[in-house]
Structure 1
Amino acid sequence: KLRDSGQPCPCRGLSASENLIRWQKMLAGGYTEGGAVVRIKTDLKHPNPAVRDWPALRIVKAPHPRVGKKYPVWPLYNFSAGIDDHLMEVTHVIRGKEHEVNEERQRIMYEHFGWRYPTAVQYGRLSMPGVELSKTQTMEMIRSGRLSGFDDVRLATIAALRRRGFLSAAIRQMIFDIGLTPVDASLSWETLYAYNRKILDPIAGRYFFVANPVKLLVRGGPKLKEARLRLHPGKPEMGERVLPLSFENSSLVFYISRSDASVLKVGDTFRLKDLMNVKLESMDSVFGASFHSLEVMDVPKFQWVSGGAVVLEVIKPDASVETGLAEPSVAALKVGDIVQLERYGFVRIDSTIPKLTAIYAHR
């Protein structure tokens, strides 16, 4: 109450010798918790009451997890952080603007010691719509089991972004471009996607994946055993991958995604990407089609898989799982590999044993 009204407390005018006596009593455990506190003397007329005679050390009787009951007096945040910065010879302090008052407190302490305060830069809060960025709330959700950990795909922590396939270079460049500003900013996922895509697109291998597959039999097609496709359409030096073709009663067997199949009707001509054009003839439990031609036509293009396809589970950003079939080459990828599933999106391989799973990053 005295501090808030700008009035001195009764012990503020005590001599240095008396304060030292009381300090030794604190160290000896002669006060109860809350019975004494060390404060940093400041201007009682400071416009912000939080800066006036702020508390620096207090008494804690509870055992410390490392040193037990060895010390009864412990520093509070501003004393501890301020002293640490000096002892570690910190030259620049970069922290959220909510610490502006803490900087004022620490500067006064540095003046008392005759130290030079580091260069300090405050920045505004960076938020993302629909994402919990609060460390306190995140910890609570992890403890309650609502999140699996700090790398849960529903989070925007560095661990979660890494697990989804966001490159550190993309995050770093985005932060550089945003810059340090005290103004609160809202960052969209699309912005982050664009930075990551710019780096990934030239280096990520391409693969076919069909979600919720539908079987397609094509009669009359060429008797091919495999298709050889570039790993990256613009970089032949990256090599090729092989897609085996399988047959059933002399018909070529393919699988296309249910979403692609849902837009078709009997009589439609479409292209199995990078392979052939076919004409749909039936839509029973198994789709039936006939071979049309090989040359590229102005018709819808669909991803496909055939012989040796492997089951792949893709974990989406909302933690839902989409299951489908991927071309055989995907089975040879390693945990941590980031690839593009064509017309689906970039994914990062998350596990290969006991099953093949990937985390969806973005389109």
Structure 2
Amino acid sequence: MGALDIETLVPAIVAADFKTLEPHLLTLEKHLTLRTYIAGYDLSDADKKVWSALRNNKVAIGLIRKGQFASVTRWFNHIEQAHPEVKEEAVPKPNKNKGGANYNIPLPNAENGVVTRFPPEPSGYMHIGHTKAALLNDYFANEAFDGKMILRFDDTNPSKEKQEYQDSIVEDTKNLGVKIDRITHTSDYFKEIYEHAQKLIKSGNAYADDTEPEIQKEDRMNRRASKCRDRPAEESLAMLEEMKNGTELGRKHCIRARIQFDSSNGAMRDPIIYRFPNWADKAPAPHHRTGWEWNIYPTYDFACPIVDSLEGVTHALRTTEYADRNEQYHWFLNALDIRRVNLWEFSRINFIRTFLSKRKLSKVVDSGKVSGWDDPRMPTVRGILRRGLTTAALREFMVKQGPSRNIVNMDWHALWATNKRILDPVVPRFTAIEKQDAILATLTGGPEAPYYEDRPRHQKNPDVGKKSVRFSSKVWLEQADVLTLAPEEEFTLMQWGNAIVKGLDKASAPIKELQLQLHLEGDFKKTEKKITWLSENPDLLEVELWDFDYLITKDSLDPEDNLDDFLNPKTESMSLALCDPTVKELKAGEFLQLERKGYFRVDKAAGEGPEGRAVLFKVPAGGK
């Protein structure tokens, strides 16, 4: 490949978005395949200009970081590492607080650096509702600013948490393309948090309370002070020690912050900051990281601001459901006199006909309604990625929701439409014929002997490659297509030419035979029907085509709804199909489009599925 037109390429990259960037990266990818530098054997002005343009395009940085264009990624990283002066010379990355923002998401007080954190509880698998928090934290730390992001596990409730869940969240976060600078745990700081509780008690800002839980709840609801509120600090400290040791006396107590029992904000009415685990009907078990070292655990509301401060978090992103607790968050920082943290709110995201309750999700898994947490009908990260959602589409969609403060039920169609727009320019096209009642039609005027031609896998994108197409005098057609034809009707065999129906008997169903006259001189623009076909071929690949529906029949479940009353009785369907032999080259996780059938993701490659079949999952297209 010759020299690149840098003067055209650079401004094109700068102005490009998800839809228009890919062709430019493909051009660059081909050019750099066997090159270390864009021009010559050392750093050139062309390298500097293109590197700077890519660095200042947040979409490009995301794709490069994921390695989607291997040669571009290799070149980009080499320039950055071997020529650090380029980074200093480059125009600063656009800051979303300083105008020119693609998403117009403000982040206050970011001029001195940005450190964000994603703090999931390891009590279940990561789902679509969590992805917004993960991706927004990643966006601010690694795209909008040159910051850092912490993945911190809020492991303060051993009755619900498992190592299995923690491992799955790490894997899912990485699969989302999130750049994690370090992984931490609230349990890493149990000693420091305990010492901060002691500090609060000594300063008169916390006390030990042995009020019965129901009475305590009533007191808080009615804005009444606890009978223990004025307990001497020495006594409360002694009770904290009893709690830590797990004594019988200690187990009657909890520790509460002494804020304002009669506040109009319920979160400020002396909240609990230390308690024993609520095992309910479960037998006590050790913490999955600290074992039996601790008998008591801090609440999330108490631990979170402390650990945020200790870890250097500058901006804590929280959903609007925490709005009432923001005042409490800042109270803890002030009362303990520790480093302040900025809070930034975003709305929780829900989707129609989707439930995100861990209890309900566990129920459909345990009951066998789905095959597991990665079932493509599940709203878990691994479920939606397995269904065929790309991380690029999910990232674009979630970041665009960032400024919104309104909690709404989103329609999946919008997300899948974004996904389709990303897949369409780069996904190879193939043909599949439903195997049930498929008809082997005979073509008069067809080739005397089968022959092959190389055809593009994508009519509009030659970089997708080519496929070998077989032509012969016998072709497979689908029963449903043949039923629409009439004697003497002229129609188009897609990517070949026209044919005329010569022998068709619809008296018996299914139709078994069909005679066609090949009419290549016919005008395909004048035919009403364009039909897919496959030439008779012993190498045709048998595949399973799967499609899925929502798990529930109601747009949004109310708290009092019984899940079983709204479970969809039929949520999956499968048909066998004959497919282009070249589909066997595709690996699990790759995408394809089957002409007139839609987009599919390879769940199991040829040879890996039942009886050696490939298993393909249909990817929703986003249409109503």
**Contact 1:275 1:294 (C-alpha < 8 Å) held by counterparts:** no
CA spacing shift, 1:294–1:129, aligned 2, 3 Å: farther
Is 219-228 or 300-309 further displaced after alignment? 219-228
In structure 2, do the counterparts of structure 1 residues 68 and 198 end up closer, same or farther at CA, with 3 Å as the change threshold? closer
TM-superposed CA distance for 1:176, in Å, is: 2.0
Q: Are residues 1:271 and 2:498 paired?
A: no
**Offset at residue 97 of structure 1 (A):** 2.1
Seen in structure 2, the aligned counterparts of structure 1 residues 295 and 32 have a Cα distance that, compared at 3 Å, is farther
Counterpart in 2 of 1:41?
A: 258
The answer to whether residue 317 in structure 2 is matched with residue 64 in structure 1 is: no
Query: For residue 388 of structure 2, what is the aligned residue in structure 1?
Result: 165
Shift, 1:208, TM fit: 1.0
Q: How does 1:252-271 map to 2 (within 5 A)?
A: 252-271=473-492
Aligned to 1:320, the other structure's residue is in SS state: strand
Moved more, 213-222 or 312-321: 213-222
- What does residue range 30-179 of structure 1 map to in structure 2 within 5 Å? 30-32=247-249, 35-60=252-277, 62-66=284-288, 67-179=290-402
8 Å CA contact retained: 1:32, 1:59: no
- Residue 313 of structure 1 is matched in structure 2 by 544
- Equivalent residue for 1:282, pick from 466, 485, 504: 504
* Secondary structure, counterpart of 1:197 in structure 2: helix
Shift of 1:68: 4.7
Q: CA contact under 8 A between 2:242 and 2:250: conserved in structure 1?
A: no
- SS of structure 1 residue aligned to 2:454: strand
Q: CA deviation at 1:4?
A: 2.8
Q: Which sections of structure 2, spanning at least 5 residues, go unmatched?
A: 1-217, 506-510, 550-571
Aligned match of 1:219 in 444, 456, 459? Answer: 444
Helix, strand or coil at the partner of 1:26? helix
Does residue 12 (structure 1) correspond to residue 229 (structure 2)? The answer is yes
From the superposition, tell whether residues 73 and 345 of structure 1 become closer, same or farther in structure 2 (CA, over 3 Å): same
Deviation for aligned residue 1:203: 0.9
Give the C-alpha shift of residue 19 in structure 1.
Answer: 2.0
Higher helix share: 2
Tell me, in whole angstroms, the C-alpha distance in 1 between the residues paired with 2:319 and 2:439: 52
Q: Whole-Å Cα distance in 1 between the matches of residues 440 and 250 of structure 2?
A: 73
Q: 2:428 aligns with which of 201, 205, 222?
A: 205
Partner residue in 2 for 1:239: 465
Q: Contact (CA 8 Å) 1:243, 1:328: kept in 2 or not?
A: no
Q: 1:28 to 1:196 in 2, by over 3 A?
A: closer
- The equivalent of 1:249 in structure 2 is none
Q: Note if 1:361 corresponds to 2:619.
A: yes
TM-score, normalised via structure 1 length: 0.90
User: How many angstroms apart in 2 are the aligned matches of 1:121 and 1:111?
Assistant: 18
- Aligned-residue offset at 1:254: 1.0
Q: Distance in 2 between matches of 1:30 and 1:130?
A: 47
- Provide closer, same or farther for how the CA distance between residues 93 and 140 of structure 1 changes in structure 2, counting only shifts above 3 A: farther
CA distance in 2, matches of 1:72, 1:237: 61
Matching residue of 2:160: none
Displacement after TM superposition at 1:230 (Å): 1.3
Q: Cα gap change, 1:128/1:294 in structure 2, threshold over 3 Å: closer, same or farther? A: farther
Task: Quote how far apart the aligned CAs of 1:33 are.
Answer: 6.8
Q: Is the 8 A contact 1:142 1:149 kept in 2?
A: yes
Give, in angstroms, the shift of residue 270 of structure 1: 1.0
* Aligned-partner SS, 1:3: helix
Decide whether aligned partners of structure 1 residues 163 and 104 sit closer, same or farther in structure 2, where only a CA change above 3 A counts.
same
Larger mean CA deviation between 56-65 and 122-131 belongs to: 56-65
Q: CA contact under 8 A between 1:312 and 1:356: conserved in structure 2?
A: yes
Which residue identity lines up with residue 614 of structure 2 in the other structure? Answer: L
- List, as ranges, runs of 4+ consecutive aligned residues in structure 1 with deviation greater than 6 Å: none
Deviates more, 1:331-340 or 1:61-70: 61-70
Bigger mean CA deviation after superposition, 200-209 or 172-181: 172-181
Q: Residue deviations 1:149-195, cap 9 Å, x none?
A: 23212133322222122221111111222223220123223212221
Q: Deviations over 1:201-254 (max 9, x none)?
A: 1111111112243322212223352243211111234432112234xxxxx211
- Alpha carbons 1:122, 1:181 under 8 Å: kept: no
Can you give the 5+ residue segments of structure 1 that lack an aligned partner in the other structure? 247-251
CA drift of 1:355 comes to 1.8
CA contact (8 A) 1:229 1:274 kept: no
Offset, 1:108: 1.9
Q: Give, as a single letter, the amino acid of the residue that structure 1 aligns with 2:545.
A: V
Question: Alignment partner of 2:221: what SS?
Answer: coil
Flag the structure with larger Rg: 1
Higher RCO (Cα < 8 Å, 6 or more apart): 1
TM-score, with length taken from structure 2:
0.54
Structure 1 or 2: more strand by fraction: 1
Cα 1:147–1:244 shift into 2, 3 Å: same
The answer (yes or no) to whether the contact 1:311–1:356 under 8 Å persists in 2 is: yes
Q: Is the 8 A contact 1:42 1:52 kept in 2?
A: yes
Structure 1's 122 and 327: CA in aligned 2 closer, same or farther, altered over 3 A? same
